[in-house]
Each structure stands twice: as C-alpha cells, then as structure tokens.
C-alpha cells in the first residue's frame, strides 16, 4: 500500500496548516509514501522543517519504508533551494545541488538535526549570528530563542531529534527561523503541572505567559519558562510575526494574538519572523522584568547582554 502528500505551490507559515492536513497518522502503517514536489515554487524554513520532521517520523515507524519523490520536469529554483538547505540529505534522498555551495553563515542556517546539547549550542550561535548581523535587535535574544530550542530538544519526550532552519530575506526585510519537534506538544508537557488545560489552544495561551513551564522535577524548575514570553515581547516590539502550532491548536501573533483550530501536528512547530528594519533593546525587556515579582532569574541569562 502507498500514500501520497502533495506540497502546494507555496509552502510558508501562512498556509502551513494546509500542508500539515496531509500528514495523516493512518499513513504510518503503509510501506510507500509518495511526496509530490512537482508544483512547489516557493518554500520557506517553516515548510522545510515541518516536511522533514514528518518524513523522518513516518520512516521511523517501521523498517523497510520507502519514500518516492515526484519532481517537476525541470529543476526549479524551489527544488534547488531545498537541496541547498539540506532537505534531501536529511531525508536520505539522493539529489545533488546543481550549483557551487558558497559560504552563507550570515544569511542562512540549513536544516539541522539536533541530537545533543553541543549541537543545540552550535545551532543557536549560528542563528544568533544571522539575526544580530541582519537585524537591529540587540544581543540577548539567544536566551529566549535558546530556551525554545532547548524545549524542543530536551523536553519534547521524543526519540526523534528536533529540526531547526533559518533564512535571511533581504527583499522582504525579514529573517525567518523555524523550530520543530515530534514530541508530546505543549499540552502534553504543561499538563504535568497544569492539569486543567482544556485543549491545545489553551496550552499555547498558557505557555506564552511568564514563568510557565511543565519541566519540573522534585519541585525544581528545569528552565525559566521565559523563552516564549520574552520572544513574544521581542516579536511585538519588532513588528514581526510568531506562529506556534502544537496538537490541534495554532496561534499567530502579528500585532494581536489569534488562535485557530487546525489539523493535528504530533509535536510542536515554532516559526519566528524578525523585521530587519525595526530595532529592539532586549536588555531593556529583561531590566523591566527584573523589577517585577517573578521567578528568580539565573545571572547567566544576562552574560551576553
């Protein structure tokens, strides 16, 4: 038996729910999965990591599974971009990037698997290098974005790695960062402590609040619970965009918070878009929080401010 998913013409944060709607749980018992790339003309880091994570999860369910790709008649710019971002390498497909690979550490971070703390640190440093080079956001963002990546890596309760990808778009004046895992989702994580969660949207809303974490052992917090809260503050001040997709809930923050019922994603996807033209003083955000009554911060959080 086989199943098929078709990537749309454009794969980006604004229509990521349409792509995820094709990621059915019932395909996991089938031996062949057809991935149709023939219509893709544009794909961003958010679409890349979501597709990679699903394909890796699908293949992990059973041995001798086969993924077959349908390509366009000619090598398109989107296909070349997917190859440049290591899409085919990560999913185990033999597809050669048709151009010379040039160093682009200040413009992009290829799709990267995170399986260890050292890999997480390396990816965080690379993404921060892009943001600090290409935007007007002051140093210090690594604290909040780093905690989001740490949550995906350490606390998703998944045997699969998490995936991270980033791209600078000079013409659009933005940097997009995408982080995905195949774990238990926000509701599964937060319900360890907050047992009154109604649904996935409720879990997202709670996770965006200050000092909220489901990662507690022996009455001790394993992280600050500030990653999403601070990142949201930065996005709002930067006039950027933030998307959180977990379970059957999605939140898009762009001027206002909007929540949606969406097809299920077995894990969590976070997509961040930073405006390159509007500056943010991250240290000022932490200074304001320091004067409030909140969970005590470790001094190491401010080392890079």
Query: What average pLDDT does range 248-272 have in this prediction?
Result: 96
Residue 64 pLDDT > 70, yes or no? Answer: no
Query: Given a cut of 70, is residue 224 above it in pLDDT?
Result: no
* Strand partners of residue 216: 221
Confidence of residue 205 (pLDDT cuts 50, 70, 90): very high
- If one counts every other C-beta atom within 10 angstroms of the C-beta of residue 205, the result is 19
What is the DSSP secondary structure assignment for residue 33, as one 8-state letter?
E
**Higher pLDDT pick, 293 / 72:** 72
Quote the distance between the C-alpha of residue 148 and its chain's center: 9
pLDDT of residue 240: 97
What confidence score (pLDDT) does residue 63 get? Answer: 66
127: pLDDT strictly greater than 90: yes
Query: pTM to 2 decimals?
Result: 0.89
């Amino acid at each position: 038996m086989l199943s098929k998913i078709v990537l749309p013409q454009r794969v980006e944060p604004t229509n990521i729910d349409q792509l995820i709607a094709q990621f059915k749980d019932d395909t996991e018992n089938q031996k062949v999965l057809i991935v149709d790339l023939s219509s893709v003309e544009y794909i961003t880091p958010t679409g890349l990591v979501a597709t990679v994570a699903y394909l890796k999860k699908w293949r992990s369910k059973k041995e001798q599974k086969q993924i077959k790709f349908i390509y366009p008649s000619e090598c398109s710019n989107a296909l070349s971009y997917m190859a440049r971002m290591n899409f085919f390498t990560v999913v185990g497909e033999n597809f050669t990037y048709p151009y010379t690979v040039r160093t682009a550490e200040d413009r992009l971070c290829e799709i990267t698997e995170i399986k260890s703390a050292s890999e997480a640190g390396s990816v965080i440093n690379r993404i921060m290098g892009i943001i600090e080079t290409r935007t007007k956001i002051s140093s210090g963002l690594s604290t909040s974005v780093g905690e989001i990546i740490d949550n995906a890596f350490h606390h998703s309760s998944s045997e699969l790695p998490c995936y991270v990808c980033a791209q600078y778009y000079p013409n659009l004046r933005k940097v997009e960062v995408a982080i995905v895992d195949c774990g238990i989702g926000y509701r599964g994580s937060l319900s360890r402590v907050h047992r009154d969660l109604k649904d996935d949207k409720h879990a997202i809303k709670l996770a965006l609040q200050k000092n909220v974490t489901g990662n507690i052992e022996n009455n001790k917090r394993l992280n600050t619970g500030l990653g999403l809260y601070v990142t949201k503050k930065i996005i709002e001040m930067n006039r950027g965009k933030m998307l959180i997709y977990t379970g059957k809930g999605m939140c898009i923050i762009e001027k206002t918070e909007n929540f949606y019922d969406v097809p299920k994603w077995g894990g969590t996807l976070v997509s961040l878009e930073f405006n390159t033209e509007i500056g943010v003083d991250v240290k000022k955000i932490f200074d304001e929080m320091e004067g409030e009554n909140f969970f005590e911060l470790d001094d190491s959080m401010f080392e890079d401010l």
